[in-house]
Structures are given as C-alpha cells and as structure tokens.
Amino acid sequence: MIQTMEKIKAYMRGWLNYYGIADMRNNIKSLNGWLYRRIRMCIWKQWKQPRTRMRKLIGLGVDSHYAATIAYDRKGYWFNAGNKAVNWALSKERLINWGFYD
C-alpha cells in the first residue's frame, strides 16, 4: 500500500501542477472524490476476510454490531467503499493523516 500511496502522490502533484493554471477546479474535485473512494476500495479489498474487516472497523471506532453487518456483506468492493460507516472509518482526514495526498 505504501508503494501505491507514493505513486498516487506523484500523479496528483503532477496533475495539480499541470492543470492548476487552467480552470479545472470542478474536474479536479470530482477526480479527488473518486480517488478517495478508490483508495477506500483498495483498503477494503486488502482486508480480505470478513473477520479482518470487522476487527479493523471496530479498531477504527465503528460500532461492533454495525461493523459485523458491513464486514459480512457480500456486495462488491466498490459498493462497500461507499458505505457510510466505511466512509466514516476511512475518512478523508484519516487518509490524509496516513499520508495520502489532498
């Protein structure tokens, strides 16, 4: 995941420097939102087993009953990355603290 973070940082810096001159703020914000959901999806995918997902969500402060419901959900990675509890547990601020670029 660290290598992925470094690649994303490099791309984002390049995009922001290249398109920062143009009037592309809305497109960059849209891309940024998509990127954070994609990062959440990759993290969710890394936590392969439902037991691991539940343990990690509880560790991040999600209620244990709700964490179990989400962890054992058989919907896709992208769908679960958009879940409210996953968004709260892996919030934008938390991802930035972990080293992702905003």
pLDDT tens for each residue of the chain, 102 residues long: 667 766 776 766 676 666 666 666 666 777 778 888 988 998 999 999 999 999 999 999 999 999 999 999 899 999 999 999 999 999 888 888 887 766
The predicted pLDDT at position 65 comes to 93
Report the pLDDT value the prediction gives residue 92, as an integer from 0 to 100: 86
Which pLDDT belongs to residue 41?
92
The model carries a pTM of 0.76
CB count within 10 Å of CB 43 equals 19
Give the whole-angstrom CA distance, residue 85 versus residue 61: 9
For residues 23 and 29, the answer to whether their CB atoms sit within 8 Å is no
